[in-house]
Chain A
């Protein structure tokens, strides 16, 4: 009866398990590599390298929360990055290049949504196709070339989007000078999206669609329109990530973005968003990103070779998925406890509370 009344711990404290895992990992790294993890620089570095991953994963939280998937965002990073880079560099368009870059991402996302919602092709297939298409377009249009944005840091675009606001201030604190402003923008965007997912009509619709398309239609949600909005949002966020990445690197690379596909999806799922849709947590996603992003730096600093990185990421991923499965689905959890009890009985231990295992 206890589980019936109200919310479980998981629901009451959003993303609690993943925050605990994050804290444990951080403590482990602080212990193994104090010279790195007890100094501020690794954290200022994360502020400049993690925003693209966090933005992508936040968008994916909506997509996966709605029971869909997007595989095309790495190509949006290449395509929007290209649109931005060429307008910024060759045509010297400044803020217009930013707007065009964002618009191209929004367009790709919108088209994804239309194909999925109106033509009715499952998102996995649609975005697999568009991932090839837009990635290919980026290569064709750029001729596979990289664009070096030489002198970009002089522009107001660079200053405002990825600048170092304290770089010139007369402070003696070196790490403060390296604080990068995209960390702030990312926090603002993620904060707004948290409110939207948890407090806004659109977020509620997203979760209901993820729960069941049929129920959503019956209660009057315009499922097609909301799906188009979700994929458009994803396109917008991927374009934001593309522009931040391109400006931060002061370079557009022809194949940029490919490395984000699996890491972003893994961050979302580690965070506790259900792959089956209907349950999504942005806070969990953000901590999922921290974990994925921190593991490499942490392991290398702790003396393990970089070869271990994927092994450890995979391990944490699996543990998280199994944990959520049991925490999340009452039947499975009860079955597990029932098994443990019968196991206990076999071992000669008597448990007093029987029954209640089934309802």
Chain B
């Protein structure tokens, strides 16, 4: 059903483009230059589908797309925004990670110069309020709701009040940490005992470094019933950690995020019970559309919640082909 939902959105966007195109054969975004921050590194699990979406949208709409890669480092995102600003493009799409304060003055400067700025992946609520009328949109998960959705999918698999759970997350980054908060809050409301643990910075950028500490925690808590995650990299290494800790699939209900290759294997083997699919393709496709809509047709910034559903071991097989194509 979500597949249909997604396809409809995508087709609708392209359809919209086709319908409103002027009589000439030129696509409606022709002549627009857009700088776009893609996230980590080219082709990595949490970046690839966004690249594909942005590329296909830019081809469909005729936008000249210039992708930038920051390895998720906030200070690099800011520096890249400045470089983009210097090139005076029509649109810039940014990542929300550095936060509203860090971006505010730069976005203001860009908007004052008539550049459309829009955002993705992590929301910049203050900026959306201020610059929404000028086209500042958001394509990404409504973080709190996404976390709650993941938690509910976990609860649906048989967790009950009194069970012990752990949530590893980036609680320290105020806006980004909201997803983990939503997840942990929802589990607690259902009566679970939840440990909230911070993911250290080195594990944040390379999740496999965290495996030993995850194993140690799992082994030292034999009554652990559930693990909640909202970090794509950590989700992908957690099945390995469970295996190393001597757990069998299903011993611990594991709810995570994203569809990295190892995460898919985890779903197939049953170690992962549910994973939030944040539709990275749409996080790439939508900002390009937003750019054209705002730059050409002066539309305000739209907010697209891409955190609409979870993938479970039952639904994964139907998606494998699309995932391999870098779309899901």
Contacts and interface: CB of A to CB of B under 8 A. Distances in A.
A150 B75 CA distance: 16
B9 interface: no
A307 interface: yes
Contacts of A256: 73-75
Contacts, number: 114
Contacts of B102: 148, 249-251
A144 B200 contact: yes
Contact of A251 (B87, B98, B198, B205): B98
Contact of B198 (A144, A153, A250): A144
B172 interface: yes
Nearest to B104: A250
Interface stretch (A181-189, A190-198, A295-303, A329-337): A295-303
A36 B86 contact: yes
Nearest to B80: A296
Contact of B201 (A39, A43, A254, A309): A254
Interface in A136-168: 139, 142-146, 148-150, 153
Nearest to B76: A259
A41 interface: yes
Interface residues of A, number: 40
A300 B69 CA distance: 10
B42 interface: yes
A173 B219 CA distance: 64
Interface string A122-148: 000000000000000001001111101
A303 B201 contact: no
Interface string B62-104: 0010111101011110111011011110000000001111100
Interface string A298-326: 00110101110100000000000000000
Contacts of B320: none
B105 A250 contact: yes
B66 A300 contact: yes
Contacts of A11: none
A48 interface: yes
Given A146-B172, A250-B102, A42 B87 contact: yes
A39 B99 contact: no
B242 to A, nearest CB: 24
A253 interface: yes
A45 B85 contact: yes
A256 to B, nearest CB: 5
B152 interface: no
A193 to B, nearest CB: 24
Interface of A: 33, 35-36, 39, 41-45, 48-49, 139, 142-146, 148-150, 153, 245, 249-251, 253-256, 258-259, 296-297, 300-301, 303, 305-307, 309
13 contacts: A45-B82, A143-B172, A144-B201, A251-B98, A253-B73, A253-B75, A254-B201, A255-B73, A296-B83, A300-B68, A301-B66, A303-B64, A307-B67
Interface of B: 35, 38, 42-43, 64, 66-69, 71, 73-76, 78-80, 82-83, 85-88, 98-102, 105, 170, 172-174, 198, 200-202, 204-205
Given A41-B87, A251-B75, 12 more contacts: A36-B86, A39-B88, A41-B85, A43-B86, A150-B101, A251-B98, A251-B99, A255-B205, A300-B35, A300-B68, A303-B66, A305-B66
